[in-house]
Amino acid sequence: MVKLILASKSPRRRELIEVVSDNVLCVSAEVEEYIPEGMRPQEIPSHLAKLKAESVAKSYPEDMVIGSDTVVILGDKLLLKPTNETDAFVKLRSLSGKTHKVITACAIVYRGETHSFYSETEVEFYELSDEEISEYIKTGEPMDKAGAYGIQGRGSLFVKGIKGDYFNVVGLPIAELKRKINEILG
């Protein structure tokens, strides 16, 4: 059986990858996550996932290495992880009452080849009061998440509905990932 190496330190992705396989090792990808100038927001997660996977694959040439990255896009604006509480507030205020896209890309490196795909989910938020946003920020939950919220935690209280894969919003589209792995292994 092929060992899966998840190029991530995310506890959420670690839990999710264990649904895909029991034979998993999680290794932090120590790469500079740079975004080339002029890159469209929809292309960024694929670029970053590939950087992570290919970096870790150098140390695990016999295994299947999976890198992933998630972004939140509102209109044509990219909402990355907040830099501080004020930034988190601004991001959440901008999402209030609107529908945004969550894109998670996966790059799978196996036997010297890189295979990539991405999944897109639409998420609609309720109208949020300033008090709701401030209380949520006080929990600390939004500070390490794209778009400043976690759908699997207290951020779920803001979600009016989703169209697409829930696990994509959490950070790893596991059903599609499992199918891609099976396809690669033949």
In sequence order, the β-bridge partners of residue 162 are 123
Ramachandran region of residue 97, left (φ > 0), alpha (ψ -120 to 50) or beta? left
Catalytic residue among 22, 69, 76, 87: 69
Neighbours of 152 (CB within 10 A): 17
The Cα–Cα gap between 56 and 6 comes to 9
E strands of the chain, at which residues? Answer: 4-6, 24-26, 64-74, 77-79, 99-110, 113-125, 159-163
Cα angle 64, 106, 19; round to 5? 70
- 75 SS3 class: coil
**94-114 b/e (C-beta count within 10 Å ≥ 16 → b):** bbeeeebbbbbbbbbbbeeee
Does the annotation mark 130 as catalytic?
Answer: no
Token code pair at residue 151:
């759908």
Active site residues: 69
